[in-house]
Amino acid sequence: MTNLRALIGIAVVLIATPAAARQASPNEPAEAIRTLTGIPLDAQWKRTIYSFAREKLLHPAWGWTHSERDYQLASEVARKERLQVDTDILFAAAFTHDIGAIGDFQKEGVDHAIRSAELAEYLLRDAGFPVAKWPAVREAILGHMFDKVAGSRAESIVLHDADALDFLGTVGVARRLSVTGTAHSYSGGVAKIGEFADRLPGRLVTGTAQRMSKIRVTEMRRFLQQLQNETADGRLP
């Protein structure tokens, strides 16, 4: 546990409230402090986790901006499906589900969701997250990927669908191309875009997410067609 805490880097001292989040004035309630997209940071542990994410989870595809989109998408799906979600559980899972896919937090041979759950338990506990809610967070983290079966709780279902939706659409295209890395061609990334457009809608659980996916898949197919139109004989560099 000591090594995990050292890696996470927040074992004793809470990270300060993020400068990028709008600060509340002395006369404003804690609920007035929000993330860049308006998610309430209405508890100290949320401010700690958000600060951790902004400082440590820096990745073009799996980083904190993806977590923030997942939370917002999951909230939208829950609202339209009339599902009651615990926002503490959803926030905790959304902002920790991909820790194990980033940099030094990765562990060779360990699925990133399992690694994320391993790290998130200590991260959340040290931040002051209500420990009784941890099992529900763990369920959501472990089932968040489109190729996994979502857990039975509402938070697990909406995070699973949100995470898949964020692989679709224009943002999904950008995310896939961002991880091309040092490859000599982006053909692999383009192939993955086409694969996701075909495969992911069928992995969505809720009717709301399935409807939302149609627009996003159309965007992806339009991109693929235009890319082919603008390259010599449809060949990619």
Q: What is the DSSP string of 46-92?
A: HHHHHHHHHHH---TTTSHHHHHHHHHHHHHHHHHHT----HHHHHH
Residue 109 corresponds to which tokens in the numbers above? 């041979």
pLDDT of residue 112: 95
Residue 97 corresponds to which tokens in the numbers above? 């589900």
Q: How far apart are CA 173 and CA 190, in angstroms?
A: 8
List % helix, strand, coil for the chain (3-state, nearest 5).
Answer: 60, 0, 35
Q: Which residues of 160-197 are buried (b: 16+ CB within 10 A; e: fewer)?
A: bbbbbbbbbbebbbebbbeeeeeeeebeebbebbeebb
Q: How far apart are CA 163 and CA 113, in angstroms?
A: 12
pLDDT of the chain, 237 residues: tens digit per residue: 546 666 666 543 344 444 445 444 545 555 569 998 999 999 999 999 999 999 999 999 999 999 999 999 999 999 999 999 999 999 999 999 999 999 999 999 999 999 999 999 999 999 999 999 999 999 999 999 999 988 999 999 999 999 999 999 999 999 999 988 777 778 888 999 999 999 999 999 999 999 999 999 999 999 999 988 888 765 666
pLDDT of residue 157: 98
Q: What distance lies between CA 86 and its chain's CA centroid?
A: 17
pLDDT of residue 16: 43
- Report which of 110, 104, 97 is spatially closest to residue 70, judged by C-alpha positions: 97
Residue 183 corresponds to which tokens in the numbers above? 């490859």
pLDDT of residue 91: 98
Would you say the pTM of this structure is higher than 0.85? yes
User: In a 3-state reduction of DSSP, which class is residue 92?
Assistant: helix
Residue 116 corresponds to which tokens in the numbers above? 């994320």
pLDDT of residue 232: 73
Q: Confirm if 33 and 17 have CB atoms less than 8 A apart.
A: yes
Q: What is the DSSP-derived secondary structure letter of residue 40? A: B
Longest Cα–Cα distance in the chain: 63
Single-letter amino acid code for the residue at 51 = S
- Report which of 195, 208, 121 is spatially closest to residue 157, judged by C-alpha positions: 208
